[in-house]
Structure 1
Amino acid sequence: MTSPVLALRGAILDAAAADAELCALMGGSLRLYDEPPRGAAPVYALFSDVRAADWSTDRERGHEQSLGIVVWSEPGGARTALAVAERLDAILDDAALTLDGHRLVNLRVTEISGERDKDTRLTRVTLRLRAVTEVA
């Protein structure tokens, strides 16, 4: 069985890849990765930290997940990074995603925050998500 973390990531990737507007904002294809590919130029997004805690009940085994997606954009690209983050918010907040081996109870975007990296001057916008999943 797929872990709840990997099942949720897979469902997020599927939903994001199916959204033409998001792909257009990212240069024509979905650029959401676990790690940035060597030589990748922004704009792209990365899965960041994740925490999965037991959320089981008497009848169902489940998890509460807290995870992040970080959007990176070139210097001066704050508007682009925010547009990508807002599109991800529109796609994912309260989405009815299908997970491998798990059932999504709910998915909420809980925070969007942005800042400029001091060293690279790249803009980064972070989405924080909260999901509750149960074993199917």
Structure 2
Amino acid sequence: MTSPVLALRAAIRGACAPDAALASLMDPAIHDETPRGNPPVYATFGTTELRDASSSTERGHEQDIALDVWAKRGSAASALAAADRLCALLDDAALAPAGHRLVSLAVTKLEAALDEESAATRVTLHLRAVTEVLP
């Protein structure tokens, strides 16, 4: 079985990378950590929580995923615009994570804050996904 976390991350990346509107706002790749060269606006996967959501007939998982959009100091509007595009791409998206069926994907919350350590703007999208393992 493919990890539900890795499978969903790959599907999210696949949905975002080719989007021209997103590419006009930020580096369209979603990174696991800060990318080299530190582009002006980029996104990283943040905290992910995975819980069992199996039923009596299906094996499944529920994931809470954070996507952090980072923008250099003074670029809060850029980070919010990129986050808004990510919301449009991912909320209720029909993704196909390998080895799993996506039952639902929803943006549940958006937070914007100034990172005290770097003075960068961080906008966090909180996603909730439910998947079932394919036979």
Q: TM (normalized to structure 1)?
A: 0.95
- Which range moves more in the overlay, 126-135 or 116-125? 116-125
Q: Secondary structure at the match of 2:24?
A: helix
Q: Residue 70 of structure 1 aligns to which amino acid in structure 2?
A: D
Q: 1:87 aligns with which of 85, 88, 92?
A: 85
Q: Is contact 2:16-2:29 (8 Å) kept?
A: no
State the Cα distance separating 1:117 from its structure 2 match. 1.2
Which residue is 1:98 aligned to? Answer: 96
Indicate the RMSD between aligned Cα atoms, in angstroms: 1.0
State the Cα distance separating 1:41 from its structure 2 match. 2.9
Question: Structure 2 regions of 5+ residues with no counterpart?
Answer: none
Amino-acid identity (%): 55
Q: How many residues align?
A: 134
- Which range moves more in the overlay, 120-129 or 30-39? 30-39
Measured in 2, the distance between the counterparts of 1:107 and 1:120 equals: 31
State the Cα distance separating 1:42 from its structure 2 match. 2.7
TM-superposition CA deviations, 1:5-38 (whole Å, max 9, x none)? 0010000000001211001111xx4231001123
Q: Residue 51 of structure 1 aligns to which amino acid in structure 2?
A: E
Q: Secondary structure at the match of 1:25?
A: coil
Question: Structure 1 regions of 5+ residues with no counterpart?
Answer: none
TM-superposition CA deviations, 1:21-72 (whole Å, max 9, x none)? 001111xx42310011233233110000101100000110000000100000
Measured in 1, the distance between the counterparts of 2:72 and 2:114 equals: 10
Q: TM (normalized to structure 2)?
A: 0.95
